[in-house]
Amino acid sequence: MSSGFPGGAPDFYASGGIGGRSVAMNNNPQVPYRSQMPGILVDPSSQIVQRRPDLIGKRSLAEFQAHHQQQQQQQPGLGLLLRSVKPRMYQHASPISPLSPVDFSASISPEFPSVSAGRYGLPLLQQLRPQPIALGNNVMAPRTANLSTVTYPNFPQNRGALQESEPESEKKIMNRLQELEKQLLDDDDVDEEGDAVSVVTHSEWSEAIQNLIMPNQKPISPSSSSSSTSSIASAIPICPKQSAHEAASAISEGMLDAAMESLTRLTQVANARGNSEQRLAAYMASALKSRLSAAENPPLVAELYSKDHIMATQMLYDMSPCFKLGFMAANLAILETTSSEQSAAKFHVLDFDIGQGGQYVNLVHALGARQNGKHTSLKITTIADPSNGGTDERLKVGEDLSQLAERLCISLKFKVVTHKIHELSRESLGCESDEVLVVNLAFKLYKMPDESVTTENPRDELLRRVKSLQPRVVTVVEQEMNANTAPFLTRVNEACAYYGALLDSLDSTVSRDRSERVQVEECLGRKLANSVACEGRDRVERCEVFGKWRARMGMAGFEPRPMSQHIADSMRSRVNSHQRGNPGFTVKEETGGICFGWNGRTLTVASAWR
């Protein structure tokens, strides 16, 4: 039976690969070491032939103790390190049993029998090797040796010297070897009857020794190493965000082959109809491929101005509580400002992107509930870009709002103007002296270029022009994402975090089988692609974090108008009603604004300025 190590047990214990024990013998000669044998097992038949005629079997415990006392009287300085041995009765009659009479002449020194004798009286070589015990049906199991009684001739004889010469790793191995010996050979665990034999199999012995030598490694079959590696690699789950980061990093460094490899892994988990991570992987893979082939197939920026995209964006505002509550917070800030004025019954709202008018449907309902029999006059002016041909659509929105206001006994005037930014003034907008002017900039500023795109800086120009109108309050609602002046790799990570949370939040509010849900997520895919794959003027969407909006508003001359605690409490109550037991949506107050998010990630921020 093989020990599991090339060269057999003698090579293993004498090689110095692990630290061995030494026994202080008071300058007495060491026990001679047996010569190396070709096999791991000792041939029992050869032992029987060479055995001494005056020695049959092992000595009894009484005889052994008597001899022990005699040796101590003759040599008082002799040190003994024997373990206590209990008498046992064995029924093994097999000629190859380790309990059979064997030859001790080659291994036991007549001068120190108590030191060299092993447990059960085995020779030294058999003590070091796992010995077979007959179990029936020709099955042999190795028997361990009592290593605490063995002297190694090639190791230092002074334990202190050994401790000084041994590395720290060898000391740890020795401690683990002692623990293993104690577990395998502990006499206290054996029944008093002595009819049970502690047996370890060959595989257990090999594994124990292997762990002592290389505690952090496991033996691997050479024939199965390649298949094991491939199976482990295939079992490792692919993280979409990590794969997207690796692809973006390779793209930024110009490593196209590595980028394609990462995109291949990302595509493996992409599924536009799967869970939120799979959908994010699909949109991010498409965006990065567009970035990779931008020279040949640039992203279609015109899609962001298409009618389908605008409609899908309005659906997003209705489906996502984070966007819907942002609009509501802006309305409450407008209502609080106008209610404190003497001319609260007459005010004028200037809007730069009215969309489908959903925000003002809620505002008209709130005014109808607040007027308490008083006549309320509302004027809404929206700016239209004549190049986009959106004037007719805005007029249709105005008609719908007028009909709603009439039912609620509110006087509504709706007007669409096509002025340029530098043409805006109170006179051009038709502002009256007795009306309160408010400006709504909900989801408008992020689509305007700033100084990083052009020296004209339309974003700051708009803010300065609005400031010149002297409005009573300006409301701002924006997405919380660092995607304007941030470098490409940062924008990829931001897009993964932002759109991943947004896609996940939609799962809790809209069922996947709705056709509107598909349109909204395709809209998000276009937004993500524009933020990641485009640069310069082609990057239409340039979101900022609230801290940057706050700094920009301050540079334009605005001061924050803190939203009241009533607005924050009202938003929380609405979130709780929308959650229906789902704590994913969050509302928190920040300096100058109210943040709406999903599972700790802020998605939108509403603020008011004056």
Per-domain boundaries in the chain: 8-213, 236-299, 303-609
Given a cut of 60, whether residue 210 has pLDDT beyond it is: no
Amino acid letter at 343?
A: S
| Distances 132 to 2, 43, 94, 102, 203 between C-alpha atoms, Å | 11, 11, 11, 14, 13
Neighbours of 289 (CB within 10 A): 19
pLDDT for 434 equals 86
Lowest-pLDDT range of 170-174, 298-302, 317-321: 170-174
Nearest to 497 by CA among 274, 244, 247, 264: 244
Q: What is the pLDDT of residues 459-486, one digit of tens each?
A: 999 999 999 999 999 999 999 999 999 9
Q: What is the pLDDT of residues 334-392, one digit of tens each?
A: 999 887 655 456 889 999 989 889 999 999 999 988 877 677 889 999 998 766 666 77
Lowest-pLDDT range of 31-45, 51-65, 497-511: 31-45
In this structure, are residues 582 and 508 in contact, taking their beta carbons and an 8 Å threshold?
yes
What DSSP assignment string belongs to 419-469?
A: --GGG--HHHHT--TTSEEEEEEETTGGGS--TTT-TT-HHHHHHHHHHHT
Strand order in the sheet with 601-609: 410-417, 376-383, 346-351, 436-442, 473-479, 601-609, 593-598, 585-590
pLDDT for 282 equals 95
Nearest to 288 by CA among 308, 309, 306, 266: 266
pLDDT for 172 equals 74
Given a cut of 70, whether residue 135 has pLDDT beyond it is: no
The gap between the terminal CA atoms of the chain, to the nearest Å, is 90
pLDDT for 543 equals 96
Token look-up 């033996």 returns: 219
Residue 586, sorted as left (phi over 0), alpha (psi -120 to 50) or beta, turns out to be: beta
The Cα angle at residue 326 between residues 323 and 328, in degrees rounded to 5: 115
As given in the structure block, the two tokens for residue 384 are 């239209």
| Residue 477 DSSP class | E
Neighbours of 600 (CB within 10 A): 9
In this structure, are residues 372 and 403 in contact, taking their beta carbons and an 8 Å threshold?
no
pLDDT for 558 equals 97
- Describe the crossing of helices 358-370 and 307-319 by its angle, rounded to 10 degrees: 40
In angstroms, the CA 191 to CA 80 distance is 26
Task: Report, as an integer, the average pLDDT of 74-95.
Answer: 48
In angstroms, the CA 104 to CA 59 distance is 13
**Residue count of the chain:** 610
SS3 category, 123: coil
Per cent of the chain over pLDDT 70 is 60
Q: What is the pLDDT of residues 544-553, one digit of tens each?
A: 999 999 999 9
Please give the residue that has the higher pLDDT: either 232 or 578. 578
Please give the residue that has the higher pLDDT: either 251 or 182. 251
Given a cut of 60, whether residue 77 has pLDDT beyond it is: no
Rounded to the nearest integer, the mean pLDDT of the chain is: 74
Nearest to 184 by CA among 134, 130, 115, 136: 130
Q: What is the pLDDT of residues 443-464, one digit of tens each?
A: 999 999 999 999 999 999 999 9
pLDDT for 73 equals 67
Task: State if pTM tops 0.75.
Answer: no
In this structure, are residues 125 and 42 in contact, taking their beta carbons and an 8 Å threshold?
yes
How confident is residue 96, by pLDDT bands cut at 50, 70 and 90? very low
Best-predicted range by mean pLDDT (115-119, 126-130, 294-298, 419-423): 419-423
In angstroms, the CA 72 to CA 144 distance is 29
pLDDT for 591 equals 84
CATH of the domain spanning 303-609, picked from 3.20.20.100, 3.40.50.150, 1.10.287.3510, 3.30.460.80? 3.40.50.150
Please give the residue that has the higher pLDDT: either 533 or 50. 533
In this structure, are residues 87 and 64 in contact, taking their beta carbons and an 8 Å threshold?
no
Number of separate helices (H) and strands (E) present in the chain: 22, 10
Pairing of strands 376-383, 346-351: parallel
Q: What is the pLDDT of residues 274-299, one digit of tens each?
A: 899 999 999 999 999 999 887 667 77
pLDDT for 272 equals 87
Beta pairing partners, 436 = 347
pLDDT for 300 equals 78
In angstroms, the CA 481 to CA 497 distance is 9
The Cα angle at residue 608 between residues 330 and 320, in degrees rounded to 5: 35
